Structure 1
Amino acid sequence: MTQTVLIVDDEPAIRELLEITLSRMGLNTQSAATLSEAQSALRQEQADLCLTDMRLPDGNGISLVELIQRDYPNLPVAMITAHGSVETAITALKAGAFDFITKPIELERLRTLVSSALRLSDYSGTDGEPSSDDAKTAQLIGNTAVINTLRQQIHKLARSQAPVHIHGESGSGKEVVARLIHQHGPRAEAAFIAVNCGAIPAELMESELFGHVKGSFTGAAKDKLGLFQSANGGTLFLDEVADLPLAMQVKLLRAIQEKAVRPVGGNEELAIDVRILSATHKNLADEVAAGRFRNDLYYRIHVIDLQVPSLRERLDDLPALSEAILSRISADSPGGPATLSNCALEAMHNYHFPGNVRELENILERAWALSEGRQIEASDLQFASGPSSSSAASSLSNLAAPALAIEEAFGNLEAYLEDIERQVISAALEQCRWNKTATAKLLGISFRSLRYRLQKLQLDD
C-alpha cells in the first residue's frame, strides 16, 4: 500500500516542492498550511510520516510534535527549521521529533530522511530483544524496575534520530544499550560501528574517524575509509567520548553539524548519514566546566541523556544474568550448562561489584575454570579486594582513616569534624570514580544531602 506523508507549511512554494519530490518517490501527500489544518488532517486520514515547519500562522511545529507524540505515538514527525537554528532543532528532537532538515531544503537529504523515517513501521511492533544468531545481537537481561524502565526508554529512543549520550559506570553495559537502540531502529540493517575514543592514539585519531587518501602522510600506502564512512547509513557509537582531545572535538563537531567528513589529505568533503550515540563513565557537564570538553559539542551529542544503572542497583537480576553468562561460557562442555549454588548466589548478593556486569562475567569465567564440578560454589568465587555492600563503611575507614587526636578538636570542634567528613567523602568519591549517585548510595545518604555536603566542604569543583 502506498504510504502517505503529511506536509505542514504555510509557504505554498515549499509545499509544492515537497509534494513533487515525494510523489516522485512513489508517495502520497497531504498538505496543511496551519496547525489547526494539520490536526484536522491527522483525524481524517492516517499518515505514515509528518513533515512540519517550525513557524506556523497559528502556532509552532513543536506543539504539533508534542501532540503527535501524545496522540499518535507511532507516527514519525520531522521538523523543518531555518538554516543554523541549532537550538530549534535540539528542542524539536527533545520534544520527540524523529529528525530535522534545514532550509533551503537539500532534496537528497530530504529523500534520505523520508526513507529512513518510513522504515520505522517495520520496527514499531517489537517489544523484546531482536532474535538473531548473530553474536553481535545485544540483549538486556533482567526484570528489575530499573531495567524495565531502561528497556522502555531504549524502544522510545530507537524511533528517533536524536543523538543520545549514554551515561553509566564502567562495565555497566553502555555498549549493549547503544546496540539495542540501533537494533530496534530503522538503521538496524546497516552497520553499527563502535569505537573507544580513549584507545586511539591522538596522532591517528583523525585518520581513524575520517579516513585518509593515499600519500597523505608517511605510511599512507592506500586510501582508507574512516569509521564515519564505514558507519554510513547506520550508527556510530563513540565510547568514552570525554577522552577525545580538544583539537579532535572541533573536527568531530563540524562533521556532526555538516553531515560530512573530509579525509586526511582529501580535497573535498564527503556526505555522510550517521546517527551518533556516545557514552562515558565521566560526568560530561563537569568535563565542560573544567574546560576539558567543548560546550558546543556537549550540546550536540547530549540532546538526550540515558542513564544505565549499576549492577548494585539491580542485584535481583543476578540469577538471570549469572544463568545467561554461565550458559554461554559452558556451552561447549558436555553435561549441560554450569549452575550456581545458593551459597554462591548469596555471596554475590553481598558483593559490591565495582566493575559491574563486566566484573561479574570475569568472576564467573574464573570460577568456572577453577570449579571441579558443574556447580559453582561460594569457595570458587574470587572477589576483588574492593568492598562488598555489607562492608562498605569499614573499608572507607581503611581508605581514609583520620588521625583521631582528640585534643585537636578542643576549641575548634566544627573544623575538626569537617576535616574528618571531607576525608571520608573524598575517599568515597575516589572509590566510586566520582560518580555522585553511587557515592551517595555508598555513604547511605540522599543525593541532595551529598550535594549539600560537597558544596559546604568545597569539594564540588
Structure 2
Amino acid sequence: MAKILIIEDEDAIRRVLKKILLEEEKSYEVEEAEDGLSGIELIKKNEYDLVLCDIKMPKMDGIEVLSATQKIKPEIPIVMISGHGNLETAVETMKMGAFDYISKPPDLNRLLNTVRIALDHNHLAQENKQLKKKVSKSFEMVGNSEELTHIKSMIEKVAPTDARVLITGENGTGKELVAHWLHEKSDRHKKPFIEVNCAAIPSELIESELFGHLKGAFTSANKDRAGKFEAANGGTIFLDEIGDMSLSAQAKVLRALQESKVQRVGSDKDIKVDVRVIAATNKNLKEEIEQKRFREDLYHRLAVIIINVPALNERRDDIPVLVEYFAEKIASEQGNKPKKFTDDAQNLLKTLDWTGNIRELRNVVERLIILGDKKITADDVKTFVQIKK
C-alpha cells in the first residue's frame, strides 16, 4: 500500500486531493498536514512513498519543506502544488530536486498521472537500493581489528578521489574486497567495475584482453573486439595480480595511464578512455623491478596510494567474527539454520596457522558445518582440521 502525505494549508484543496486519490486507487493511504511545520514532523516520524506539498504556506513554506526533507529523507519524491502565479517558483523547486509540480486547481488526469509516475519511480529506487545492499553485502569487509579499521579508514579517504591504488598482500587476504569497496564508495560507483585477473590470462592474449583487437589481428581474431579498458570507461578497472603481467603489456598500460588512450591490437587508432585503475599483487614489486620483471615507471604510476591487506595471522582478533559471518552465510546458502561454534572451538581456531588466510578459514568453517554436529566444538576442530605444526 502506497502511503501519501498531503501538505496543504487550504482545507478545501486538501479534501479534494485526498478524495481524488482515495477514489482512484483503493490501495492508497493518505495523510494530511495543514502547514509545512507539521508536515515535516510527520515526515520525521513516518515512512511515506510520496509527498504532495503546497508552496505558499504559513510557518514553513513548501521550499523550506523540500529543503528539509532532502536532508532527512532524500529518497521521498515530492510533488509541489503551485498557484498559477507561482510557476517561476515551482520551476525553481524542480531545480532543487522536486519530482514534479502541478498547478491549482489540480487537473484530475494530470494529478493522477504524476502520482503514479512518482510512485513507480520511488518503487524502482527502493528496489535498486535493496539490490545494491545485496551486492555490497557480498563484498562485505568483516572484522573490528585495528588493522582492518585502518584499511576501512583509508578507503573512506581515498575512494572519493581518482587516485590510483596499489593493493598488496598475500593470496586469500581479501584484496579484491578492498578494490570493490574503493569503487562502491567512489563517484564512479554507478559505472562499470571491470575485474581482470592478469595471472589467469596467457601472456600472448593479455594485450588483446585489456585493449581489444581488430579482426585479423591474429589467428583467432574473427571479429573486432573491445578490451577491458574500453568496457570500464567512466568506471573502474581492477588489475588483479598485476605482477604477473608481461613487460609488453605493462608498457601499454603505462601509456594508457599517461595519456588516457588505448589502441586495439592491430590498430594505430587511439581510443580515449576515462578509467580509474586499481591494481593488486601478492608479489614484492620492488624486488620484481630489481629482477627486471616489472617496470619501475609503471610501479610509480600505480602506487599513488598503497594499501597493504594484512594476513589473517596478523589479525587473529577478527577470527571469531569471521567464523560467525561465514557460518551464517553458508547456512543461508544451504537453506539451513547456522550452527553454533563454542568458545573453545573459537579459541582453538584463533591459535591455528592460517597460511591460506581468509579463503582457507571459510573452507574450514564449511567443512566443520558439514561434518560437525549441531554445535561445533574444539574436538570437532581437532578431528576435522589438519593442525599445522
- TM-score, normalised to structure 1, is 0.53
Q: Which amino acid aligns with 2:257?
A: I
Residue 139 of structure 2 aligns with an amino acid whose one-letter code is: A
Q: Is the 8 A contact 2:233 2:274 kept in 1?
A: yes
CA contact (8 A) 1:137 1:179 kept: no
Q: Whole-Å Cα distance in 1 between the matches of residues 318 and 240 of structure 2? A: 25
Structure 2 CA distance, aligned partners of 1:209 and 1:313?
Answer: 35
- Is it true that 1:176 corresponds to 2:177 in the alignment? yes
Structure 2 residue matching 1:202: 3-state secondary structure = coil
CA deviation digits over 1:99-136, x for unaligned, max 9? Answer: xxxxxxxxxxxxxxxxxxxxxxxxxxxxxxx9611277
- 2:269 counterpart SS class: coil
The separation in 1 between residues aligned to 2:215 and 2:339, in whole angstroms, is: 52
Aligned to 1:166: 167
Unaligned runs of 5+ in 2: 1-130
Q: Is the partner of 2:301 in helix, strand or coil? A: helix
**Correspondence 1:296 to 2:274:** no
**1:360-379 deviation line (CA, Å, top 9, x unaligned):** 011112222222x3322334
For 1:335 and 1:240, locate their aligned partners in 2 and report how far apart those are by CA, in whole Å: 36
More RCO (CA 8 Å, sep 6+): 2
1:49-100 CA distance string (max 9 Å, x none): xxxxxxxxxxxxxxxxxxxxxxxxxxxxxxxxxxxxxxxxxxxxxxxxxxxx
Conserved 8 A contact 1:142-1:321? yes
Instruction: Assess if the C-alpha contact under 8 Å between 2:173 and 2:309 holds in 1.
Output: yes
Q: What CA deviation, in whole Å up to 9, does each residue of 1:381-432 have, x standing for no partner?
A: 3445644xxxxxxxxxxxxxxxxxxxxxxxxxxxxxxxxxxxxxxxxxxxxx
Task: For 1:346, give the aligned amino acid.
Answer: N
SS at the partner of 1:216? Answer: coil
Q: Is the CA contact 1:341–1:375 (under 8 Å) kept in the aligned structure 2?
A: yes
Contact 1:226–1:263 (CA under 8 A) maintained in structure 2: yes
What residue number does 1:60 align with? none
Summarize the Cα distance change of 1:137–1:370 in structure 2 as closer, same or farther, 3 Å threshold.
closer
Q: Do structure 1's residue 139 and structure 2's residue 151 form an aligned pair?
A: no
Structure 1 residues 267-276 or 325-334, which shifts more?
325-334
Are 1:241 and 1:279, in contact at CA under 8 Å, matched by a contact in 2?
A: yes
State the alpha-carbon separation in 1 of the partners of residues 363 and 314 from structure 2.
19
Q: Structure 1 residue 375 and structure 2 residue 386: aligned?
A: no
Deviation track 1:265-320 (CA, whole Å, cap 9, x = no partner) reads 22411111110111111111111122111111111111111111211121111111
2-structure distance, mates of 1:228, 1:334: 39
Structure 2 letter corresponding to 1:171:
G
Deviations 1:11-70 (CA, angstroms, capped at 9, x unpaired): xxxxxxxxxxxxxxxxxxxxxxxxxxxxxxxxxxxxxxxxxxxxxxxxxxxxxxxxxxxx
**Identity of matched residues, %:** 42
- 1:238 equivalent in alignment to 2:239: yes
The within-5 A match list for 1:69-148 is 132-134=133-135, 137-148=138-149
In the other structure, the counterpart of 1:49 is none
Distance 1:282 1:267 in 2: 33
Give 3-state SS (helix, strand or coil) of 1:132's partner. helix
Q: 1:193 to 1:363 in 2, by over 3 A?
A: same
The number of aligned residues is 257
Q: Which runs of 5+ in 1 are unaligned?
A: 1-129, 388-461
Give the letter aligned to residue 183 of structure 1.
Answer: E
Distance 1:194 1:305 in 2: 19
Does the aligned pair in 1 maintain the 2:352–2:387 contact within 8 Å?
no
Give structure 1 regions of 4+ aligned residues with deviation exceeding 4 angstroms: 332-335
Q: The residue matched to 1:256 in structure 2 has which SS?
A: helix
Give the 3 Å change call, closer, same or farther, for CA 212–312 of structure 1 in structure 2: same
Partner Cα distance (1:186, 1:137) in 2: 20
**Equivalent-residue separation in structure 1 for 2:288 and 2:276 (angstroms):** 23
For the Cα contact (< 8 Å) 1:354–1:386, is it kept in 2?
A: no
- Distance in 2 between residues matched to 1:287 and 1:145, nearest whole Å: 30
Q: Which amino acid aligns with 1:208?
A: E
Partner residue, 1:250: 251
